[in-house]
Structure formats: C-alpha cells, structure tokens
Structure 1
Amino acid sequence: MFNLKVSASVLAIAAVSATAAAARDEIRVVGSSTVFPYSQAVAEQFSNMIGAPSPIVESTGTGGGMQIFCGGIGEQHADMTGASRAMKSGEFELCQTNGVTDITEIYFGSDGLSIAMSRAADFDWDLTLTEIFLALAAQVPVDGAWADNPYTTWNQINPDLPEVSILAYGPPPTSGTRDAFVELAMHAGCEELDFVKDGGFDSDWVSANCSRMRTDGPFVEAGENDNLIVQRLQADANAMGIFGYSFLFENTDTLKAVQIGGVEPSVDTIASGDYPVSRPLFVYVKNAHRGVIPNLQEFVEEFVSEDAIGFGGYLSERGLVPLADARREQTRDDSINAVTFTME
C-alpha cells in the first residue's frame, strides 16, 4: 500500500534535476508486455500530435522493466516503465538505492487475464479456477497426498471436458502477468480444493505450495512477447494461451475466450468485477527526468488525457477498461502534478 504526498512542482523538479539527466531526443518507456500496446498507442498519438520523435517503447516484462527503470538517473536510464502489477517493496528499495527517489505511480485502468484459444477449436470451453489450477500447477492432491501433477488430458480432471492434451502457453516468472495469474487464478483455484479447505491450510501454505507452474510440458513459458503466443494458438486449435485482455481484444478474428466460471472476459465483466481474473495496470514516471528529457511532461499529460484513458478513448478501443470518473480525475491530477509515493 502506498501513502501519497504531493511533491515539489514540476518546474522545481526540473531545476533540481537539470544536472542529473541529459536531454536525449526520445522518451524511453520500458516494462510490461500487457501495458506495451497502450504505451505504444500513446507514443504514436503523441508523435503525430506534436511532430517530435516518437517515444521508444520496449516490451521487457514488468520485472525486467523495474530493474531497468530503477537503475538510476540520467539519459542512459529509462524515463517510464509499464507494470501489470504494483511495484514491489524490493523494487522500490532498488530505486531508492540507485537514486531514483521521486517516482509517480499512475494507475490508468484495468485489464483481465484472458485464457484464449483458436476459433478453430470445436469445443466451447468453460473452466473453473480449480480446474485451471489442477491442469497447470506443479503439485496437486493425488490420493489424499500433495504430489507431482499427474494430469495430461483435460478429461482426467473433469470427464465433461474433451480428451485432449493439456497445453497452455504463458508468461515467464519475470512477467507481471505471471504474478497476477498466480495470485488471482492459481491461488484462488487452490483455495477451492477440498484438500486445502478440509486440511485447514492458511494463505501462507497456499502461497508456498500453490504458486509453482508445472515444468513437465503442459505449461510452456512463451517469453514476454504475447504476439508469439497468439501465433502458436493460431497454429494449434487445442492449445490455450494466457495473456492480457487487450491481446484477445485485438485478435478476436482468430481467437476466442475460455470462460471462467461461466463468465467471458469483456470490458463490462472486467469493470463490474464479474470476471474473476482481473487486475490494475500502472505506469511509473521518473520525476527527475521531467523538464529535462524533452516532452516527457507533455507525454505524461497525453497518457492520462480523457482522449486516451476515458470511456470511448483510443486506449479503450484497444481493450483498456477505464477507471470510474472520480478515480480517473484523481489519476490525471496526481500524474500531471508529479505526486510521489512511499511504501509502508
């Protein structure tokens, strides 16, 4: 949880930091593969509007982006990083150690973690969180004991499911998507098991025993490029992919969603909370670079503009689920005025 406090004005930040960061021409944004298409869309819109060089946007994963972003102050270091989860305490400490002591956190919208398949699949999939856990976890209950996962086909988990091999492509451990999927899907599915409920196991036990994805074939780490997962699904009608809703939204011509508990991911079900696997999206800004890196302040303002993150904005056209009006206005004010945060 973060305690917010208002920093010095942007002009004061620029004056203080003028010697810390040289004025390279392009803004540099790193981070989450889920946030990447939103950052890229803002970069393209911004460049078209002002005629300046387009910001350089790199998909490094949430964890990788934090490492780059927190590396230090100066033109060799990134100005912003996207994240599909909040910054962790260890990442915050890394930033502080390297002199990145004034950061603005921008919570700009929400996203659902989608499980998708090729439209060529002839079965309408609807899975529970428990079935997802039993298919993809490294260890599950077997004959009353916690053991290595023996399941190889979906019908072994539920006879109503097809007799097809379990195969899911998903993000690596450095990805915020992986972190969110483990917490929101794997932990939740594990907690619903009779083995866990009847055994009286607490959240610490669940975290320690239900977080590992299997490594024997049915779950395949596909890297930080979600487009590669989309390509693999298009080539295999029985394979599933795990990625942010925006990638499903952009590929509905070839992909369809796997329902979870009878609910399909959509802007409405994610916003309402009916879809059980949803998460907030963030961008972090290095305030020492505002007023020093050309156009960074203006780029932040465009990122949180109503045209971008509002209902009907160009990011919602790419799958972003907008914040409620009051929360969106607060995000806009905090972002433009360089509000900083500290960790409890």
Structure 2
Amino acid sequence: MRDGVPSTSAQSALRRLRRRPEAWLLAVILIVGTIFSLTARDFLSLPNIIDLLETYSVQAIMAMGLFVVLVSGGIDISFAATASVAQYCAALLASQLGLPAPLVILAGLAVGGILGCLNALLIHYVRITSIIATIAMMSVSFSLLMYFSGGKSIYTLPDWWTDRIVFWQTETESGDLVRITLPIVAMVVVTLFTWAWMTRSSAGRQLYAMGGNAEAARRIGINIGRLQFVAYGYLGLMAAIAGMLQAHRVGESVPNAMYNTELAVLSAAVLGGASLTGGIGTVPGVLLGIVLLAILQNGLNLLGVSSYFFQIVIGITILASTSLTVISSRRGRRHRILAEAPANG
C-alpha cells in the first residue's frame, strides 16, 4: 500500500475475491445471521447452533455427493429416494434378519451405489438426459419402496444403530446439554474427503474437465463413461450414508422421511456456486449454501413465519441461479464470437 492506495497485487486479489460466490455467500450469511440474532431469541445460543449442525448434517452429506455430479456436468434428482431405499433395505436386514452392523452398513452402501450406477448406465449407454433419467428413477424407486413397505415404519432397529454416539458434550448454564454426535462428525469427514478428492486427485480434476467441456475431455483421452459411473455412484454412496444416519438420528426407519428434500439440497449446491452446466463449484461454497439455508429456515421458524415461505426462498434460489447461468453462458458465447470474428474476416 502506498499513500493509502492498495498495491496492484492487493487490488487484483480483492477483485478475484469479489468474483468468488463463497465471498458473497459468506457476507449474506453474516448479514442474515446478524438480523436473526437481533430479532429471534436464542438464535445464537450454543444448543441451537449444535442442533442446526446435527439437523442439517444429513442434507450436507447428500449435497457433497450432488456437488460431484454437478461438477461433472450432470444433475441428479433421485438421491433422496436412493437414501430412503438404502435406509429401509438396511433396516429390514437389521431388524428382520438380525445381521451384524458391518454387513448391514455394507448392504446399505451397496444399495445406494448400485442405484447411483444405474443412473449412470441410463445416462451414458441409453443416452437419456440426466434430469429425465433421475426423475424417472426417483419415481420408480420411491414408488416401489412405498408399495413393498406399505408405508410402514420400522421401529425395531437394533441398539447399535439407535444408540447415540457422543464425541464431546457439555452442559450450559441454563442446564441444556450440548453434544457433538456421530452425524456431525460424519458430515465433517465426508466434507473433508470430498474436498481433498476433488481438488487433489486426478479423478477430481478429470471430473472438472469433463463438466467444463465433455468433448474436449474425450479428445484428450478422459474416459467419460467411467467418470459418470464414479460421479453418480459416489452420490449414491453419500445418499446411503445420509439415509442411515437419518435413521440413527430419529431411532426408526421411515419410508418417506427423506421425501421432498431434493430441492433444498440442490438449492444449497447452486447457492454455493456449483453451476448447473458443469465444471464449476467448490466444496466450501456448497457447505456455505447449506449453512445459509439452515440459518434461514431456523430463523424463520423462531420468528413464527410459515414454512411455506421457506419453500418460496428455495424456488427463487433455483430460478435465480439458473437465470444467471444462462446469462453467463450467453455472454461467454457472444465474447467468443466477437473474438473469432476478426480472424474469420
């Protein structure tokens, strides 16, 4: 800085920061959080914050899987149904057959992974558009689950599944018990793994390349089909983990417990900067998207605002993100045409 004027490098860094969705999202979170802390009692209390972390840990885990699919250039609407099916199948094996924990968990993960790979098969080999294929799979999976389960919940889960696993706990002055439990720790582990995998591994870089330009990625030797199975299979695994953690949280397996969470998770991903056209997005951005939605819903609930208003926020978020994506792509196409015009002329 010279004479109170930032240096060129500092100005350049500031401009890059302003362009990042995470910076704007963090600013919005701070503003919204400040407003709710002044208007809603107990909003910033430690018990409320920890409760938010545990409540939204399931959605955050699914959002990590969806982030990978979005980066690869696809979209998946069936992950909530996948989570429900994996959870219920694992619950049946645990309650009806009495299988041990490792086998039940592996079976649940296998169901999720298989359903995810089935989406990839339909998209890559049958050539069905990703949104159509996954909407169809969502309908089929959830309908079959409700048909065979009769909509009945399973309340007889074994103790190893329902017992709370507490990593840290403390008691506040008001007598409230604050605990860091398994869902919160699982969310942190999944988030860190997804971040490291997508930023440090060859597969992660290839997924970004495929989402940015699938044809160019194919020309340089990237196996598009294999990567689609990796992306959708990973989302299937994350959905299965989320489903089993949800059953752990509530102590039962409810067939429709995960129903209608797709749009909230998708909103968090696009809020965090993950493009619906692929190749763009970061794990911290998606996590901040989850945080913003959690703050909005919790703050509105504390203020007694109707839950339908939160659904309006989700809808506006998706519309705004899609509009910005289309506008940006049009501008990029226009700039490329203008840049190529002199050469062609």
TM range (shorter): under 0.3
Higher strand share: 1
Higher helix share: 2
TM-score, normalization: structure 1? 0.25
